[in-house]
Structure 1
Amino acid sequence: MAEVVRRLRVRRGWSRPRGGSRTSNTASRPWLAAVPPVALLAVLFLYPLALVVQQSLQPDTGGTSFQPYADVFASDAFREALWTTVWLAAGSTVGCLVLGFVLALVIAFVPFPGARAVARFIDVFLSFPTFLITLALLFVYGTVGMANGLWTDLTGAADGPFQFLTTPWGVLLAEITYFTPFVVRPLLAAFSQLDTAQLEAAGSLGARPVRIVRRVILPEALPALAAGGSLVLVLCLNEFGIVLFTGAKGVTTLPMLVHSKAILESDYPGACVVAVVNVLISVGLYGLYRVVSRRARA
C-alpha cells in the first residue's frame, strides 16, 4: 500500500522519484501547451494583419496619420461598396435560410428514393470552389448560355431574355446557390436528433403539416438556423470570387474595392483601410452571433 501511495505522489509531482529529478507536472503549467499554437497563429495571421493595419495608417505622403481613413470614408465608391456588400450579404443569407430550411425538410422528412445520396452530395458540394458554381450558372444563364441559346433557336431572336447574371441579381442568385448547403448541413444534423415521437403525437392529434413545422420542427431548428445563417452572412461579406466571375461590372463590394485599389490604382493605404473595415465588420458580426447563441442556450 505504501508503494502505491509513493508512486501516486511521484506521478502527481508531490515528491521526487528515487535517483532522479522531480517529474514535470504539465497540469500546473497549462500555458506551455498553448505556446506553440499561439506562436503559429501569431506568425501566420496576427503578424500579417498587423502589417495591414500599419499600412492603413501610413499615407503616401509619409508619416503616420488617419488621413487614409478620412479619404476612404469620404469617397462615394466606399459608401456604395459598403451598401452593396451589406444588402447582398443580407439578401443571400435570407435566401439561403429559406431555401435551406425547405430543402432540409424535404430531405429529412419526405421519404423519396435517393435521399441519402442527396445528403451526401451536399457534403461534397461544400468542397466546391465558388468559381465553379459561377461558371456553371454562366453556362446556363449567360449571354451565350444554354437558356439564351434555346430561346434564340426557338424564336429566331438575336438575343435571349436572360441577361440578369451580370447584374446584382445574378450575384445574389450565385451566392444563394453556393451557400445554401452551409445552412442545409447543420439543419440535417439537428433534424437527425429530433424526437420523432413528437411529430407522431402532433399528427395523431390532428395537427396539419404546416402547424407541425411551425410549432414542433422550427423551434428545434432555430440554433442550427442561427449557426448556418451567421456563417453564410460572414462568408458573403467576404466573397470575392463570385462577384468577379459573374462579370457584374456594376457590382462593387468591399473585397472587390480592395482588389481595385491595390491592383488597379496602386493605392495600398486605401486598400488596407477597406480591408480593415471588412475585417472589423466580420469580427463584429461573429461576436454578435456568439452573444445571441449564448443567450439562446441559456
Structure 2
Amino acid sequence: MTSVLERPSPALPVARPPQHRWGGALWTAPPLIAVLLFAVYPVVRVLTESVTQSDGSRGTGTWSAVLGSELFRNALWRTVSIAVCSTAGCLLLGTFVAIVLAFAPFPGSSVVGRLIDTILALPSFLITLSFTFLYGTAGAVNALIMDVTGRDTPLIDFLNTPAGVIAAEITFFTPFVVRPLLAAFSQLPREQLDVAASLGASPLRVLRQVVLPEAWPGLMAGGSLVLLLTLNEFGIVLFTGAKDVVTLPVLIYTRGIVTFDLPGAAVIATVQVVLSLALYALYRMVFSHMIDRGRGGNDAVVEPI
C-alpha cells in the first residue's frame, strides 16, 4: 500500500475590510483646522485690516500713507541693515568658534559647548540685560575704568546705538550658527584631512579647500535662520533702550499698542511677513541647489604642491 501525498488546496484570499475614503480625511482634518485657525487666519486678518481706512471703508489709502512716510523707510532700512550686520557677525564668530571646538579642542571645550547649548534655551532679553549690567553707563566695566583712570564720565556708551543692538544680537544668535557647523564638521571624514595634510597642504589651505566646502550647507542653514530671526527681533531692541533705533517690529508695536493705529500696524506687519517669506523662499532655493550639487559627487580635492 503506497501512501499518496495530497497537494494542499490553495488558501483562499483573506477578505479585507472595505477601505473608507473618508478615513484619511478624518485624520488630516484636525491638523489642517489647527493650521488654518492659528496660522492662516491671523495672516488673513492682518491683510484685511491693512486695507481698512479710518472711516471704516476698504481702500489702499493706509498703504500709501504708511509706505510713503519717512519713518517707515528709515525703519525698513534700519531693520535690514541691523539684520545683515548681525548675520555677518554671527557667521564670522560662529565659524571661528565651531572650527576651534571641532579641530582644535582645548581643556574645557566640552564645557564651552554646553554653554552654547544653554544660550539657545535662554530668552533674548536676558542677554540684553547682561550687556546693560556689563557695558551700560553704570555697568561693571565702566565702573572699573572710572576707578582705574579717575574719569568722571563713562568711557563705554554704545548700548543705545545700532552698534549695541548688533553686538547683543551677535552674542545671542551666534549659537544658531555654531550648532549646524559642528554637525557638518562631525560628518567630515578624518581621512580627507589626513590625505590633504600628507600632500603638503597648509592648515589654512585644508580649511579653505576641504573643511569649508563641506560646511557650506550648515553655514547657509545657520546664516539663513539667523537672518530671519534678526529681521523679526523685538526683545533685544526694546530692552537696550535704544530710542533712536526704530525697526519694523518696534514700529508695529508703536502703531498697534501705543497709538492704536491698527490699520497702519497691519500694513507694516504685512511688509514684515512678505520679507520673511521672501527670505525663506530664497533660503529654500539656495539650499536645494546646494543639495543637488552635493549629490553630483563634487568632492573637495586638494592639489599636491
TM-score with structure 2 setting the length: 0.89
In structure 2, what is the equivalent of residue 250 of structure 1? 244
Shift of 1:25: 7.0
Deviation at 1:51, TM superposition (A): 1.2
Structure 1: 5+ residue runs without aligned partners?
Answer: 11-15, 17-21
Question: What is the letter of the counterpart of residue 176 of structure 1?
Answer: I
* Cα distance per residue 1:86-115 (max 9 Å; x no partner): 010001111101110000000011121222
Alpha-carbon distance, 1:117 to partner:
2.4
Q: Please, which of 272, 276, 284 is the counterpart of residue 266 of structure 2?
A: 272
Residue 19 of structure 1: aligned partner: none
Task: Quote how far apart the aligned CAs of 1:122 are.
Answer: 1.6
Query: Are 2:230 and 1:223 equivalent residues in the alignment?
Result: no
Identify if the C-alpha distance between structure 1 residues 3 and 244 changes in structure 2 by more than 3 Å, giving closer, same or farther.
Answer: farther
Aligned AA (1:283): L
In 1, the alpha carbon distance for the partners of 2:274 and 2:11 equals 56
Partner residue in 1 for 2:73: 79
The residue number in structure 1 matching 2:194 is 200
SS at match of 1:6: coil
**Structure 1 60/212 Cα, relative in aligned 2: closer, same or farther at 3 Å?**
same
Deviation string for 1:169-221 (max 9, x for gaps)? 00000000000000001001111111011111111222111111100000000
Given residue 274 of structure 2, which amino acid in structure 1 is its aligned partner?
Answer: L
Partner of 1:102: 96
Alignment-derived partner of residue 43 in structure 1: 37
CA RMSD in angstroms, aligned pairs only? 1.7
CA deviations on 1:221-256 (whole Å, 9 max, x unpaired) are 000010000000000010000000011111000000
Q: 1:141 aligns with which of 118, 135, 139?
A: 135
- In 2, the alpha carbon distance for the partners of 1:44 and 1:50 equals 11
> What letter matches 2:176 in structure 1?
F
Amino acid at match of 2:13: R
1:54 Cα deviation from its structure 2 partner: 1.0
Question: Counterpart of 2:44 in 1: which secondary structure?
Answer: helix
Task: Go from structure 1 to structure 2 and tell me whether the alpha carbon gap of 1:66 and 1:208 turns closer, same or farther (over 3 Å shift).
Answer: same
Match of 1:130 in 2: 124
C-alpha distance in 2, partners of 1:161/1:70? 44
What percent identity do the matched residue pairs reach?
49
Shift of 1:124: 1.9
Distance 2:25 2:189 in 1: 42
User: How many residue pairs get matched?
Assistant: 285
Q: Which amino acid aligns with 1:41?
A: V
Matched with 2:182 is: 188
- Matched ranges for 1:105-184 at <5 A: 105-184=99-178
The corresponding residue for 2:299 is none
Q: What is the match of residue 291 of structure 1?
A: 285
SS at match of 2:13: helix
Distance 1:211 1:4, change over 3 A: farther
Structure-2 separation of matches of 1:186 and 1:127: 16
Written as runs of structure 1 = structure 2, the 5 A alignment for 1:12-91 is: 16=17, 22-24=18-20, 30-91=24-85
Instruction: Give 5+ residue unaligned stretches, structure 2.
Output: 1-7, 293-305
Does 131-140 or 198-207 show the bigger shift?
Answer: 198-207
Cα distance change on mapping 1:30 and 1:209 into 2, 3 Å:
farther
